[in-house]
Chains A and B, each alone.
Chain A
């Protein structure tokens, strides 16, 4: 893998989103490339800071209680209605699910 090919895949490598073959090829390149190692160090540093900072907003207790109460009746329903079944079919596989997800 040359440097340009590696650069195109570094973001996905940093996120652990590459398959095994690309991972092996990119690691072979990174071992010999100080530019790519420096880039990865900067990304890792940013991630460490994002994880160290309190950046997740905490669900307010009253809102948590409200949505749980709101969700109760539906969770006890056993028979899906026809509309719901048409929109989100039982045991739908991911591509079909994605296609039927609500869009704005």
Chain B
């Protein structure tokens, strides 16, 4: 069995930043994974699958025609702002505030700004942030998926979080 479709789609969707390509990347990744999976018996299947998704998505990003890249980077009209697409309710969102010390109440507007801020991170920073914060993977697993040293995972995470924190501070100041 090779499920983990939810994690695969979430990663693909964050990397390529639009639904149609994420669907193609996930299907291609499962096709690739299944070619090799019958011999796979050890290790963490979810991390292994996410490595396939990550590499498929990065190949796709490199092969994108320049026009598509320009459009995707054009800011306000960017193709990733399709907010009609379903997002999962965060875990624990049904529990009352205060029950969990890490529980934050966040408005729709703040959530939209946060999503936009993550989308605009460089892809090298975005991928480690998604794998750490949304998939809760250890540095060691992220390093294997991304193909870089553990120290690089940590420094990319630090830069991603510094950028998000700075942006949230700026938005709080302006609003």
Closest residue on chain A to residue B157 by CB atoms: A11
Whether A51 lies near B139 (C-beta < 8 A) is: no
Q: Which of B40, B92, B111, B118 has the most CB of A within 10 A?
A: B40
The reply to whether A57 and B14 contact each other, CB–CB distance below 8 Å, is yes
Tally of contact residues, A, Cβ under 8 A:
54
Decide if B168 touches A71 in the complex (CB within 8 Å).
Answer: no
CB-based contact B87/A56 at 8 Å: yes
Q: Does B65 contact A (CB under 8 A)?
A: no
Number of A-B residue pairs with CB-CB distance less than 8 Å in the complex they form: 187
Contact B39–A103 (Cβ < 8 Å): no
What are the interface flags for B96-120 relative to A under an 8 Å C-beta threshold, 1 for contact and 0 otherwise?
A: 0000001111100011001100100
- Contact at A74–B2, with CB atoms within 8 Å? yes
Interface residues of A in 38-93 (CB under 8 A from B): 42-60, 63-64, 66-68, 70-71, 74-75, 77, 79-81, 83-93
User: What is the CB-to-nearest-CB distance from A98 to chain B, in angstroms, rounded to a whole number?
Assistant: 4
CA–CA, A16 to B158, complex, Å? 14
Main SS of the interface on chain A?
helix
Partner of A74, one of B9, B38, B88, B165: B38
Chain A CB within 8 A of B93 CB: yes
Q: A59-B5, A84-B38, A88-B37 are in contact. Are A50 and B114 (CB under 8 A)?
A: yes
Are B102 and A44 closer than 8 Å at their CB atoms? yes
Q: Which of A63, A71, A97 meets B3, CB within 8 Å?
A: A71
Given known contacts A15-B132, A102-B55, is B105 in contact with A88 (CB within 8 Å)?
Answer: no
For the complex, what is the distance from the CA of A53 to the CA of B110, rounded to whole Å? 8
* Nearest-CB residue, chain B, relative to A16: B138
B102 touches A51 (CB 8 A): yes
Once bound together, how far apart are the Cα atoms of A33 and B8, in whole Å? 40
Across the interface, do B138 and A53 meet the contact criterion of CB distance under 8 Å?
no
B111 touches A67 (CB 8 A): no
B43, A92: Cβ atoms closer than 8 Å:
yes
Cβ-based interface call for A35 (8 A):
no
- Residues on B with C-beta less than 8 A from A56 are 6, 10, 87-88, 90, 134
B94 within 8 Å of A (CB atoms): no
Q: What are 11 contact pairs spanning A and B, CB under 8 A?
A: A43-B165, A51-B102, A54-B111, A57-B87, A59-B8, A63-B9, A67-B5, A81-B38, A84-B35, A85-B39, A87-B39
Chain A positions within 8 Å of B, measured between CB atoms, are 11-12, 15, 17, 42-60, 63-64, 66-68, 70-71, 74-75, 77, 79-81, 83-94, 97-98, 101-104
Closest 6 CB pairs between A and B? A84-B39, A80-B39, A48-B104, A53-B111, A104-B55, A85-B39
